[in-house]
Structure formats: structure tokens, C-alpha cells
A and B are shown apart, each in its own frame.
Chain A
């Protein structure tokens, strides 16, 4: 069929470009499931403890809303399906979204798509090859998940059901993305559509699992969970996902036929003919460019905070009193709940650091896209440009961290009805701002010295995360722990707040940012 001519060659070409990122997605997915299996066994050494925890979990509607319908929670398999299932399906959905986007609309947007299309032969080769790559990726992901769980010793049927559920969810959201990229002219808007679909699917099943069951059946994530892995598997929900994939693929093909190369089915919205008052300085521009992602991160952290907060006071039951949970959570003397919320605050601050590093790297992306050169050819000085970028990162970090604190306090209050803790929980992540700013500064220093090494900012964050979460477990020497700025900050509410360390770490952060700006002032701009 010559509409598809060249598809095979394109698939091989895509796989050659993607193998490493595919490997990362698959390893990440396997770890998500496998680590649940391993930690359940370590956290609950006896069946009695697992039974207690399972009762507490099943009775907490916030938990059910977050993870899914509570089934066979007193088994390791049931725990894995419950704790990793929904998130694994989301992970597969995101993987498929980025794969489809990258090989379809992103290529068209950059103009490379036209070049490939002019060589590839078949009109559908581009779309089809992206779909085939997504199929391969999801089959591999599902197989890896099923294989690793079976290898861990869980029942084969349940392991297979979880793998199939993840792969099918990935295919459905790949299909959604394939439709979305036909609709919009820009890749970000297409990702937005798929993101909304993912969010809606998650919320629908959350509402359905705690209330009206029908709602769960409207959600592709729900379909996977209805396969009841490790709780008397049933296989027919596969046909729901399969039908959805076919409908989406046919719809995408029909839309693809109807539109011009490079165009979208939906008209692009026109922008304003002249700039508003905000766009008249380096700061105004930086705010405008980062506004969208800042709002997204703040909402994500609010939601993550809600998730931690909604665990309420059940924490003792949930964690049991194994040595591992003692190691992770209990900081001498403090109550289990306080220790847990201190650790939650740290986790939230580490996630918020993702915003901080990504935001700091925007400067590098702007320079790489050659948008800085014409800006700096105006009367905007390098110093002002850089200061505006760094300021947006720093203030954005405040907003994102604060959002996580609001979520934490709100989740706790809603579940327990105790609002007296609001102030303590709301402010718990705030001391870590100093460390988040340090990561901004670290990234800025690297960028100021040489843009090509600036991505070490992510390494810095990874290092901090490993040190903060696993240093005790892995018995890191003290001096290694002290490299992480998070180490020096008080773990509120387990520790009491201390201003001194916060000020010192903040001063280090300011020095790092300043050094980065000075270094930028002295080097060539691309």
C-alpha cells in the first residue's frame, strides 16, 4: 500500500533516535511497580501488620480517590496494583504523548516533517510510524512490568493484568495525542489537550471510586483498574481500551486527511496586535514567558500537597513500625505524624525544585534558540536580562513551594477536620526555599560559565534527592550529606524552626546566582 510506503524505515529511524529515552521510561515504569512490591514487603514484615494497614487504607476515602478501588490490599500484589496501577497508567500515557508529539507535530512545526514527508513516500508514513513506535514502546513497557513483577514472585495472571493495563492506557493516550496533534498547530497545545484528557481520566475514576461507580467506567485509567489485577482478574475490560484505540486511530487518520501539512484542524487564535503594558521590560518578558509553566507547577504541587495532607493521622497504621519506616520517617523524639509531615514537606520541596531548575534553564533555552541576541542588542543590559530571569525563578519557587504547603494543610484539614494544624503544615515546606534557591543558583552559575554544561542543574537536584531520601539507608558519610543544602535546614514540623541556617543557605544561594550573572556578563553570547 503506497500510502504507507517508507513506514518501516521511519520506524527504525525513530527507534534509533529514541532508544535511550524509551529505556528510561521503561526502567522508570518498572521501578514504580517493583519498588512498591519491595517496600510493601519491608514495611509490613508480618501479615497482621499488613492487615491493619490494609483496613486503614481501605477506610480512607482520600486514599481511594488518590489510588483506586481498594481490592485485596492485604496482599503484596493487591498493594502493588493499588499503589502503582493508576500512576503507572499515567506514566505510560505520558510516554506515549511525548513519543507521538515528538514524531508528528513537533516535526511539522520545525519544518523537518515536510522534508521527511518529501522523501518518505507514503502520505501516512509519518503518522503510521509514530503509531508503530508507540505500540512497540507500550508493549515493551507492559512486558517489562509484568515480567519484573512475576520475577519478584507475584502471581503471573495479576502481573500480566497490570502490564496489560499500563500498555493499554499508554495506547489510549497515544491515540488521544494522535488526534490532538491533528487539531492544533502547536505541539504545546496538543500536549495540553492530552494533559487535560489524562487529568480528566484520573479525576473521573477518583470520583467514581469513592462515589458513583459509573464514572470510573468512563475513564481509560479506570478500565485498567477494572481488570482487578491480583484480585480475581477479569479480562474483558481490555476490549474497552482496544475499541477506544481503534476509534481514536481512525479519527486521527480521518482528521489527518482533511488538513494541510503544517496546519491544524482548529484555527489558531490570533494574538493582540500590540503589546500590553506588562511587556515593556526584561522582567515583564520573563514573567510572560514563564507564567504558564509556573501556574502548572503550582497546581501540581498544590495537588501533591493535598495528597500528602489527606493521609491525615492514619500514618501510624499505614507505616507500621518496621525498622525501615523508622529509618525513613522518625527523626529522634518527634511524633510519627510530625516526622511524616516533615518528610512530606521535604519531598514537596524536592519536587518544587524541579520547577526551579527547569525555570533557571529557560535562560539557556532562550540563548540556544537565538532569542537572546536581538534582546541584548536593545538597551536591555545583560545584567537586567539575567536578573529578571533569575528573579522569576526565585519568586516562582516561592509560589510553588507555598502552593505545596497550602495543599498539605488543606488536605490534612479536610480529612481530619482539625484546622489547628493549618499554620504548622502550611509553613512546613517554607524553610526549604533556601535550598531550592541554591539549586537555582547552582544552575545559574553553570549556565553563566558555559551554557552547554548548565543541565548539571538536574544532576544537582538528583544528588540532593538521593542524599535526603536515602543517605541514612545507604550510610553516606556525613561530609557527602552536607553538600546538599537541604541537609542544613530544619525539618519542620519534626524539628523546630531555626532562622540561622535558613539565612546562611539563602546567602549561599544569592552568592551562587550573583556569580552566575557575573560569569554571564563576561562571556560571549550565542
Chain B
């Protein structure tokens, strides 16, 4: 299902700006998604992920910059483009008196048809009862309705806004299977998340945004230097020489117990070193996006292209975990 117009990039966003009143939601955002890849769109809450997606869907009009889907303008060629994509919002709202099955079929038909067999298979995979009315679904089940509708459609691109936020771990795994299958059929995926681990499972490449601009983009291996894993281990004997290892930070040794953070690049070496003292128990926590931001960028937004003047106004937002408005709040 390659695009016929010879485009290699399904999504191209360049220097996108969007403000809601005084709130700057997007402040020079760049994003490129190649055909056939699963692209993670990462950033803390309020960074502008949903706003970007809504510009790409032609729901919001950008103030400046360009956004291209399949090489076309999402604001002007909305309907033609929407035949080729399916979208799952972060917070799915259903009509209280329409059943899940009715909503799935409605969305399928409005997109121009859905694969009946795949629909039934997906209902089974996600253990979703299609006869329940919208008002009686839980958050996770509402999300499943939207996921089944999107995954059953015959489209080239999936745009998913925090698609797993209401799913339990089993359903999350089934969701990942579905995305993998979709990719095997030749489709491309843009998936936003604020959890790095989720992106690691699925994504070929990720873009990390903060305060409306792109701060990093590349494969997760490329970004590995940004991340640290925290390790907590109980050993057979008190360790020695740990402090001398490359990439180890904040080391705490208490008898045979050891805690430290290690640059993910050097995780293997650190574990090998621990192994020499006999590991009894080992807990390691994968790096989170928030920690990464705190460590790597401190309080300030790293300017994307080396201009050191902008970006002071939003300091401190990561600490509270509920940063400024992600655009939509202004409409409430």
C-alpha cells in the first residue's frame, strides 16, 4: 500500500506555529514520518502533541509553518486525505445511546468501508462487547471502540493520540500486535505518548517535543545517550570499584546493597560489573521521558536550533506534571 506519488514521507511538518489566545501551543514544531514506519511522538503533557495531530487532521488551522500529509495540505484537502487515514483520539467520547457496534460501523462507512472479517476479529481480540450502549462503556472500552474502528479500516496511515492510556497490560499487548500487523500490511503510524517505554516497544523512530517544539528526533538507539536506567541490586558481597565505571551516577553503597543510575549506553558494562559480586535481587527501572527531560535539559527548554534566547518562560512545568494548556483547554 505504498503511496503512488513517489513520496517517501507520509507526514512532513515544518516550523509549525499555533497559538490559542496568549497560549503558544506550537512554537516551531518539526516532524517527519517516513512511509512504512511507526513513529513515536513523545512529550510531556501539554507539550503540543494533540495540537499537532489536530492540525494534521485539518481540525485546527496553523498560524504559520507548513504541514503536509501525503504531500498535501490537511486544511484544504481534508476529505481526500481522510479517506487514507484513521484516527483514534486520546479521550474517546461516544454517543450515549448508540451501541459500540453501531459506532464502529458508522466510522467505517464514513471512511469509505471497513473490512468486516477484520472488524469481527478485532472485536474478539480486544474482548469488546459491541452491543453495549456508549454511556455504559468504561474509558478503556470506549478507547477499544475507537481502536477497532480505526484498525478495521482500509487505510494507509494511523494517527493515534495516546492510544493505550485506558488499556490494561494485556490489551496493550494486543494493541501492539495489531499495530505490528498494520505495519506489515504496509501502513504507517504516528503515535503520541508520554511514556517512553511504550514507544520503545513499537516505534522505529521517535520525535520528542517540549513546549511546542521538537527537541530530538531519531531512532531510539540514537537517543539512548539521553537516557539513564536506575538500578537497585542486592549482592552476595559488598561491591568495589563501581564508582570508577563509566556512566555510573549517584552511586549509593550500603553493605551488599547498591543503588545507582547508569547511562543506558553503559548499562551492559554496569551489570557485568555487578555480576562479579553475585546478584541476589535486581530491580531496574527504565528511563522515563520526564526524568530524561529533567536530566538532560534541566528546567529550560533546549532551543532546537541553537538560539539561546527563547524558552525561559516555561521553566518548571515538568515538576508539577500538569504543564500549561495543550491548546484544547482554552476551548473549555
Contacts and interface: CB of A to CB of B under 8 A. Distances in A.
Interface of A: 109, 185-186, 188, 268-276, 279-282, 285, 288-289, 369-371, 373-382, 451, 522-526
Given A185-B135, A279-B106, A374 B89 contact: yes
B111 interface: yes
Contact of B87 (A186, A281, A377, A381): A377
30 contacts: A185-B135, A185-B136, A188-B96, A268-B133, A268-B136, A270-B99, A270-B133, A271-B102, A271-B132, A275-B101, A275-B104, A279-B105, A280-B106, A280-B109, A280-B110, A288-B98, A370-B89, A370-B91, A371-B93, A371-B94, A373-B54, A374-B87, A374-B92, A375-B107, A376-B78, A377-B85, A378-B82, A379-B111, A379-B112, A524-B61
A451 B106 CA distance: 25
B131 A273 contact: yes
Nearest to A280: B109
B93 A381 contact: no
Contacts of A369: 93
Interface residues of B, number: 46
A8 to B, nearest CB: 31
Contact of B131 (A270, A377, A523): A270
A280 B93 CA distance: 19
B146 A374 contact: yes
The 4 closest A-B pairs by CB, nearest first: A271-B99, A275-B105, A378-B110, A377-B87
A373 B132 CA distance: 22
Given A272-B101, A379-B79, A524-B61, A109 B135 contact: yes
Contacts of A375: 107, 110
Contacts of B112: 379
B110 A281 contact: yes
B60 A525 contact: yes
A273 B119 CA distance: 11
A477 to B, nearest CB: 39
Nearest to A380: B110
B257 interface: no
B2 interface: no
B259 interface: no
Most chain A beta-carbon neighbours within 10 Å: one of B86, B98, B110, B132: B110
Contacts of B92: 374
B38 interface: no
Contacts of B79: 379-381
Contact of A379 (B82, B95, B130): B82
Most chain B beta-carbon neighbours within 10 Å: one of A288, A377, A379: A377
B152 to A, nearest CB: 12
Contacts of A376: 57-59, 78
B106 A381 contact: no
B130 A273 contact: yes
